[in-house]
Homo-oligomer: A and B are copies of this chain.
Amino acid sequence: MYFCVNKYLMTRSEENYIKTIFHLGRKGTQEVATNAIAELMETKPSSVTDMIKRLSEKDLVNYKRYQGVSLTALGNKTALGIIRKHRLWEVFLVEKLDFSWDEVHEVAEQLEHIKSDKLIDCLDKLLAFPKFDPHGDPIPDKNGGFKERDRELLSEVPINTGGVCVGVKDSSATFLKFLDKNGIALGNRIKVMEIEEFDGSLNIEIDGRKMQISHVIASNLYIKANDEI
């Protein structure tokens, strides 16, 4: 109960910082750098320092000056709560309101800050307890439980490997629209036929159709490989 104290007292800004620190913290196990936060949030390092101090006061982050920052257990739980909300809203927008997957992020950024446990639990139910958002990212459960799906970047698998496209690494509107234009979507069966020595581009077969994609594209697509078939 003690750890729930400030759940409903956090400002939007505090929540955004926590979320950003969570995302940056995932990459390495290192402490997150002030500059990295500032860059991602398009703000100044001095603003970040100020906010970190406040979050530290509230026991949401571990902080020693000049040594970077990391989430406490409470901070982590908070981050997962926000991400759960963000991703459930994304599913709602796509499934119920017919948004396309490149339109959901901006609105979900707003909706994720709505404070109501009942709301989010009922939304979860309405959507039939989805496990992944429209970009293939896992949705934490009520308690912050988070199962990272077994998946690999298409750029990392060897020739002749086949699998189902289950996610994107870059979920910018630009990339998602590119995928739409080229008929690439989650659920497609993809098989790597050939990898070009020269530039790393790949010849793939996707739902039966042959096409060539650059290494950059492949390194932003996740597949669940199934060599067992």
Contact = CB atoms under 8 A, between A and B. Distances in A.
A122 B98 contact: yes
Nearest to A121: B97
A114 B116 contact: no
Contact of A111 (B106, B114, B125): B114
Interface string A49-71: 00000000000000000000000
B93 A107 contact: no
The secondary structure that dominates the A interface is helix
Interface residues of A, number: 19
Interface string A92-111: 01001111000100110011
A12 to B, nearest CB: 10
A118 B103 CA distance: 10
Interface of A: 93, 96-99, 103, 106-107, 110-111, 114-116, 118-119, 122-123, 125-126
